[in-house]
Amino acid sequence: MIAIVDYGVGNLFSLSSSLRALGQQTEITRDPERVRAADRMILPGVGAFGDAIAKLDATGLVPVLRAEAERKPLLGICLGMQLLFDKSFEYGEHVGLGLIPGQVTDLRQGLGDPTLKVPHMGWNSLEILRQDPIFRYFRDGILAGSQSVTDGGGSVYETEGARFIVRVFERFSLTDRDLVSLSLLLADLGDGRIRLTGITAGCGRLEKLWTYGEEAFLKKLTKLADGFDAAHPQQ
């Protein structure tokens, strides 16, 4: 069982639903005994470091997570990953879980290129410094097999009877400075059903004034899905 730590921060339902779609048994909990009974743990999180660590501490789970992380995997997602470090300097100085040596600091202090966006939204390249099973389908740069994401790259990979197709589409706003991305994941888990997940991100400097492109895309996608259903009524 995978324990998803509930401390009032994070999109718990979305995470739990994604894992269940992959056939994993999950439990959203703040019960120390259920966390101890789990095979793996996930610490999600959104928002500010100081508020999140205060809420986590209020649950009494901080010593539990520190102890359990010594004997089984703990995955931090987004802000949850930042909480794994020694401390953060976001809006002050805050002590973290201390499971990963290091500090969470403002990236702008060390950036040589002032045009780089902070915070960064969307997709970017990845430099892998140490091999780990979590990077099984990745290589330095981007997802293995894909092209530059700005060119609408994608990947196809298979594992344990399941097949996944990833496609990323990106475009710049009218200012050519705001990147808007649409990421699609098509998953065939071998049970006769096809699952489609779409995620959009970006458009940080300007408010979005229209949705014509997204609406047109969804109409075409719906038409394609209807055609697929008609041609494959058993799937």
Task: Give pLDDT tens digits for 174-196.
Answer: 444 455 667 777 788 777 777 87
Query: How far is residue 171 CA from its own chain's centroid?
Result: 21
Domain that holds residue 28: 2-104
Number of domains in the chain: 2
Q: Do 78 and 165 belong together in one domain?
A: no
pLDDT the model gives residue 191: 78
Q: Do 138 and 221 belong together in one domain?
A: yes
Residue 117 domain-assigned (yes or no): no
Distances (CA, A) of 39 to 27, 36, 65: 11, 8, 13
- The pLDDT of residue 56 is above 90: yes
Sequence-ordered strand ranges (E) for the chain: 2-5, 26-29, 40-43, 74-76, 85-88, 94-95, 100-104, 154-159, 162-172, 179-188, 194-202
Q: Do 62 and 152 belong together in one domain?
A: no
Residue 211 domain-assigned (yes or no): yes
Q: Do 96 and 190 belong together in one domain?
A: no
pLDDT the model gives residue 178: 53
Q: Do 96 and 142 belong together in one domain?
A: no
Residue 113 domain-assigned (yes or no): no
Q: What is the percentage of the chain residues whose pLDDT exceeds 70?
A: 67
Query: Which residue, 62, 87, 104, sits at the end of a domain?
Result: 104
Task: Give pLDDT tens digits for 145-176.
Answer: 443 334 344 567 777 778 877 777 665 444 44
Average pLDDT over all residues of the chain: 77
Q: Do 90 and 156 belong together in one domain?
A: no
Residue 114 domain-assigned (yes or no): no
What's the pTM value of the predicted model, to 2 decimals?
A: 0.57
Query: Which residue, 85, 104, 123, sits at the end of a domain?
Result: 104
Lowest mean pLDDT among 8-12, 44-48, 50-54: 8-12
CATH code of the domain containing 29: 3.40.50.880
Residue 118 domain-assigned (yes or no): no
Distances (CA, A) of 146 to 87, 131, 151, 160: 35, 19, 10, 21
Task: Give pLDDT tens digits for 96-128.
Answer: 999 999 999 887 777 777 777 777 665 566 677
- The pLDDT of residue 73 is above 90: yes
Q: Do 162 and 210 belong together in one domain?
A: yes
- The pLDDT of residue 17 is above 70: yes
Query: Which residue, 66, 86, 104, sits at the end of a domain?
Result: 104
Task: Give pLDDT tens digits for 198-229.
Answer: 776 665 444 444 555 556 666 666 666 666 55
Give the integer Cα–Cα distance in Å for 32 and 9: 17
In the block, which residue shows the tokens 């056939």? 23
Residue 112 domain-assigned (yes or no): no
Q: Do 90 and 155 belong together in one domain?
A: no
Q: Do 99 and 6 belong together in one domain?
A: yes
Residue 81 domain-assigned (yes or no): yes
Residue 145 domain-assigned (yes or no): yes
Task: Give pLDDT tens digits for 127-153.
Answer: 778 878 777 766 665 544 443 334 344
Strand pairing category for 194-202 and 179-188: antiparallel
